[in-house]
Structure 1
Amino acid sequence: MTTPNTSRRRFLGQMLAATGSSALPFTLNLAAMSTAAAATATDYKALVCLFMNGGNDGHNTVLATDSTSWNDYVRLRTTTDSGSIVLPGPSAAGGVLSIKPLTAQAGRTFALHPSMGPLKQLFDGGSAAILANVGTLVQPTTKAQYAAGTTTLPSKLFSHNDQTSAWQAYQPEGAAYGWGGRMLDILASANSAPTFASISTSGRPIFLSGKAIRQYQLLAAGAVPVRASTGMLYHAQNMSNPLLSVAAASSNSVFEKTYTDALNRAVAAQGTLSGVMLAAGAGGIPDPTPYVNPLTKASGVNPLAVQLQTVARVIGARNALGLKRQVFYVSMGGFDTHDDQISLQADLLARLAHAIDYFNGVMTSLQGTDLRKQVTLFTASDFGRTFSSNGDGTDHGWGSHHFVVGGAVKGGNIYGAFPTTGLGHELDVGSGALLPTTSVDQYGATLASWFGLTATEIADVFPNIGNFSTRNLGFMTA
């Protein structure tokens, strides 16, 4: 049995040498991978990052509905053009969905977008919390400091690629590793099969890359097989054994050895995960209920919910893989709503709420076990958007509001001071783009503390956390 810090590459090489290339099974014997102790992981925790690509408009997601705030909202988000991004009012039939945070904010009342009924139920039931005005920051910053240029700011604000990277990896595009991967680096000893600790169902995000940990990418159908290792090739039988024979062949070339090593690792990992992932549908993880577009009323499959179904299928294999800590990444696009925001966001937020509610329901009884206290989902996005309208949409902003969902969340509350509604206030850095009052470092550090990192380890993962007096925002149970 290899230790958690043993090179996965060396381990696979040893397996190849022991079995011979023609005899390598596509599904590794799990008994050879994990000990009995690892197979009964009792201290399991998972984080699921749900990234909204494009920059979600938080002003339309969580709204202040007290009369002063709502009047400003209507006044500033109604245009003289044919376009308008004003939502139905709090008193209108089918209007915004009122929520009542456990901790009142003087003179303010709040609501969610009318498409987010399932998230309202989770919030009201104490399983979801709202983080107000979160964004990338290097240090606490005032509007005066921002205007005068007397503070250190995140690089390349308002840029999609750079702020996505800053959210996930503290630096603009080009960063080497993100805070999801770094947490797993530190907690590596908890996992017997680190190959499956860092999982993406949506590309290769920098968030999951660690200094040592490698992320593993999945499709909705499950583990991705190496091309030509399964099925037919040129109308002939599958090329499994010949392919592996070539892949396992010894070579003096550094490039060939690197390639064959990566191929062997991919084949072995695909076989292993395919052998233990729970099935989708009957007898496994139930398929999501049909999603209904709130505007067209057309029903269909919600791809985000399918991504979360895949996450649940992998979580179901946690004990077989000897995993106690996992980080997942799912995403959905379309949030860059410069145009037609009122209809586009209604559909996007409905998909978001539908998928989160589905996933929470699955976690309620995964293989007969309630895992909600062990699995926490949180949202993130490039940035927020401007409060002012450009006609029928909004432009790139900065701070925005986010959700944290799970049984370990101190739900039913809004954390952080909710910003003033309108333009020209103390947090408006232009066109109603919000200067964040909560940093991504504080948001992530709170999750990391629940995940099991010490204060010293958190400071290593989040390099700017020492600049903030509050390091734990208190939205997670101990």
Structure 2
Amino acid sequence: MNRRQILKTMLGGGALSALGGLELLLATPAQAQTSSGYRALVCIALYGGNDGANMIVPLDTAGYNSYAAVRGALAIPKASLVPIGSSYGLHPALSALAPYWAQAKLAPVFNVGPLARPTTRAQLVAKTAVLPDNLFSHSDQQNLWESGGASVLGRTGWGGRLMESLGSDPVFALGDAGRLGIGAARSTLALPGPGAAFAPDGSFSGNHAKRRAMLDTLANTARSNQLVAAFANIQKTALTRSASLGPVLKITPANTPSDPLNAAFGNLQGIYNSSIAKQLYQVAKLLRERASVGGSRHVYVVSQSGYDTHNSQLERQNTLFAQLAPALVAFQTALAQLGLENNVTSFTLSDFGRTLKPNSSGGTDHGWGNHHLVLGGAVKGGVSYGSFPDLALGGADDYGVNSWEWQGRWIPGTSVDQYVATLASWMGLSTTQVSSMLPNLAQFASSNLGFV
């Protein structure tokens, strides 16, 4: 039984809702930290399966022609692409990120996906390939990305295992974190959005005050039953930590007009008034108040849904990217204000890539390998990582064996294990710790891609 289930069992759903997410506050406070030695990861989960083939497009004549020949009506005009170097272009709605490439703070990692071991099309044809579980399934591929392995049977996520290895706080989620933050002895801690009431922060009145008094009594009453005693300890810790974190989470541009972060996030108006921007605004505040959060290592998860573009892909992906890019720019601007550009690394993940070949509904279907972006001052940007796939249908990187299967579902050239291992190493895990955290990593020759 996890913490949320315990809370629901003991308090009931209504009481839990009134607490505004009690499990948020279960980590132990630590001494105040300066930016020296501090590191944090920000996972940007693009749920639904982002179409990486239109996020990063080859610019050279042969590469673009191969792309356009398969993409057809979904091909982005070459003149609209935003160059990052001479070889590749970003989707035009991501143009605001191009300066970070020029500053060597942005790096694409090509064709990443869950792998049981290095896999080739020749192995698929010979039926000797060992594949990860349940390819092309949303829930299963999300679990593989979030667990960092080749089997959906594992219970924990790589973020939870990472933080347990570091002896640090749990993973903090502003959006849907799925399995990523679950550890052997902890769960993801879900945080409310800007301005959300967080009841245990001391702002009680009327029935809320009575409820708080009741909770204090329950938390401080000695218990002989171990399960009840464990719950009471969780509750007591939660109520204690709420005093420091609750006020930070409630801050909005409207109630803090002189806050420098407001300018970075455009006062959460216009193009910044999106769920992804609000989530990153919360992360920026928590990074600024990291002494209150406690510890020198943190993992935050934000998410954006809607990438399952089986139809109307051009319009839908453009809308999502038009929200994502300014939110990321605002976040990077805030990090610069806080002197934390080199201390925070952001990266994308998604269920899977999508078919290079369009379907008949103006969209694409579920794929496998996908391109991802890594952003931050510590990133060795201005160059790309991994191998760009062969774009020919039935080519070297196409999953399909028979001609009717040739859809441009890329066989990943880089595993999720390697992608995650690179991030975990930057966070301070030793080679031995990384190998223990990612047991499937031993199947691959390289355990560090070098992008950070």
CA RMSD across the alignment = 2.7
Aligned position for 1:15 = none
User: Could you tell me which residue of structure 1 aligns to residue 69 of structure 2?
Assistant: 75
Instruction: Label 1:453 to 1:228 Cα distance change in 2 as closer, same or farther (>3 A).
Output: closer
Matching residue of 2:145: 167
TM-score (norm 2): 0.84
Tell me which residue corresponds to 2:374: 404
Cα distance change on mapping 1:200 and 1:77 into 2, 3 Å = same
- Cα offset, 1:261, TM superposition: 3.2
- Equivalent residue for 1:289? 266
CA contact (8 A) 1:280 1:309 kept: no
2:41–2:345 contact (8 Å) kept in structure 1: yes
Letter in structure 1 aligned against 2:74: I
Residue number in structure 1 paired with 2:353: 384
Distance 2:392 2:267 in 1: 37
Aligned counterparts of 1:124 and 1:324: Cα–Cα separation in 2: 29
Contact 1:54–1:333 at 8 Å: present in 2 too?
A: yes
Quote the offset at 1:160 in angstroms.
0.5
The answer as to whether partners of 2:174 and 2:279 remain within 8 angstroms in 1 is yes
Whether 1:98 and 2:79 are equivalent positions in the alignment is: no
1:152 aligns with 2:130: yes
Q: Give the counterpart letter for 2:346 in structure 1.
A: L
1:329 aligns with 2:301: yes
**Which segment is superposed worse, 444-453 or 402-411?**
444-453
- Structure 2 equivalent of residue 9 of structure 1: none
Matched, 1:50 2:50: no
| Contact 2:134–2:140 under 8 Å retained in 1 | yes
Give, in whole Å, the separation in 2 of the partners of 1:229 and 1:258. Answer: 23
Aligned partners of 2:198 and 2:246 also within 8 Å: no
What is the rounded CA distance, in whole Å, between the counterparts of 1:33 and 1:357 in structure 2? 30
* SS of residue in 2 equivalent to 1:308: helix
1:180 aligns to what? 159
Do residues 205 (structure 1) and 184 (structure 2) align? Answer: no
2:315 aligned residue: 343
> Which residue number in structure 2 is paired with residue 374 of structure 1?
343
Sort the Cα spacing of 1:215 and 1:237 in 2 relative to 1 into closer, same or farther, 3 A. closer
Alignment of 1:433 onto 2:422: no
Partner of 1:363: 335
1:237-256 alignment, distance < 5 Å: 239-256=211-228
Task: Render the CA deviation track for 1:134-183: whole Å, top value 9, x for unaligned.
Answer: 11112111111123331321101111011001001025545321111111
Task: Name 1:136's counterpart in structure 2.
Answer: 114
Which of the numbers 73, 77, 96 marks the counterpart of 1:118?
A: 96
The answer to whether the 8 A contact 2:418-2:446 is kept is yes
AA of the residue aligned to 2:435: A
Residues 145 and 151, structure 1, Cα contact 8 Å, conserved in 2 = yes
Aligned length: 413
Question: Cα gap change, 1:224/1:263 in structure 2, threshold over 3 Å: closer, same or farther?
Answer: farther
Distance in 2 of aligned mates of 1:201 and 1:167: 18
* Rounded Cα–Cα distance in structure 2 between residues aligned with 1:290 and 1:421: 42
Output the CA distance in 1 between the equivalents of 2:250 and 2:425.
29
- Provide Cα deviations, 1:393-447, integer angstroms capped at 9, x if missing partner: 0000000100000000011111122112231110011310000001111111111
The separation in 1 between residues aligned to 2:267 and 2:312, in whole angstroms, is 25
The change in CA–CA distance for 1:300 and 1:445 in structure 2 (over 3 A counts) is closer
The CA distance in 1 between the partners of 2:388 and 2:423, in whole Å, is 21
How far apart are the structure 2 equivalents of 1:335 and 1:41? 35
State the shift of 1:364 in Å.
Answer: 0.4
Is this contact kept in 2: 1:162–1:171, CA < 8 A? no
Question: In 2 relative to 1, CA 33–325 (structure 1 residues): closer, same or farther, beyond 3 Å?
Answer: closer
Taking a change above 3 Å as real, the CA distance of residues 61 and 55 of structure 1, as seen in their structure-2 partners, is: same
Relative to 1, partners in 2 of residues 1:422 and 1:350: Cα closer, same or farther, differing over 3 Å?
farther
User: Structure 2: how far apart are the matches of 1:222 and 1:210?
Assistant: 29
Q: In the aligned structure 2, how far is the partner of 1:240 from the partner of 1:455? A: 46
Asked whether the equivalents of residues 312 and 362 of structure 1 are also in contact (C-alpha less than 8 Å), the reply is: yes
CA spacing shift, 1:254–1:320, aligned 2, 3 Å: closer
Confirm or deny: 8 A CA contact 1:277 1:317 kept in the other structure. no
Partner of 2:74: 85
Percent identical:
35
Give the drift of 1:225.
3.2
Q: 1:210 to 1:76 in 2, by over 3 A?
A: same
| Contact 1:69/1:422 (<8 A) preserved | no
Hey, what's the Cα distance between the residues in 1 that align with 2:358 and 2:172? Answer: 38
Work out whether residues 177 and 211 of structure 1, in 8 Å CA contact, stay in contact via their aligned partners in 2: yes
- Post-superposition offset of 1:75: 2.8
Q: Measure how far apart 1:454 and its partner are.
A: 0.9
Contact map agreement 1:50 1:378 (CA 8 A) in 2: yes
- Seen in structure 2, the aligned counterparts of structure 1 residues 333 and 172 have a Cα distance that, compared at 3 Å, is farther
How far did 1:221 drift? 2.5
What is the distance in 2 between the residues matched to 1:44 and 1:300? Answer: 27
Determine helix, strand or coil for the equivalent of 2:352: coil
Compared CA separation, residues 344 and 355, structure 1 to 2 (3 A): same
Question: What TM-score comes out, normalization by structure 1 length?
Answer: 0.80
Structure of higher CA gyration radius: 1
Counterpart in the other structure of 1:314 = 286
SS in structure 1 of the partner of residue 45 of structure 2: strand
For 1:85, give the aligned amino acid: L
CA displacement at 1:129 relative to structure 2: 0.3
Higher helix proportion, which one? 2
Residue identity opposite 1:331 in structure 2? S
What is the SS of the residue equivalent to 1:68?
Answer: helix
With over 3 angstroms needed to count, the CA separation of the structure-2 counterparts of 1:203 and 1:186, relative to structure 1, is: same
Determine if contact 1:155/1:172 at 8 Å carries over to the other structure: yes
Cα shift readout 1:63-116 (whole Å, capped 9, x = no counterpart): 0122223223333222xxxxx3232x223xxx1112216xxxxxxx32111111
| CA displacement, residues 192-249 of structure 1 (integer Å, 9 cap, x when unaligned) | xx3xx52111145211122234432111137873589854556x86532233224433
Whether the aligned pair in 2 keeps the contact of 1:387 and 1:422 (CA below 8 Å) is: no
Answer whether contact 1:161 1:173 (CA < 8 A) is retained: no
Q: Please give the residue correspondences for 1:189-204 in structure 2 after superposition, counting only pairs within 5 Å.
A: 191=168, 194=169, 197-204=170-177
Contact 1:119–1:353 (CA under 8 A) maintained in structure 2: yes
The verdict on how the C-alpha distance between 1:451 and 1:213 changes in structure 2, with shifts beyond 3 A counting, is: same
Q: 2:15 is matched with which residue?
A: none
Gaps of 5+ in 2: 1-21, 23-27, 401-406
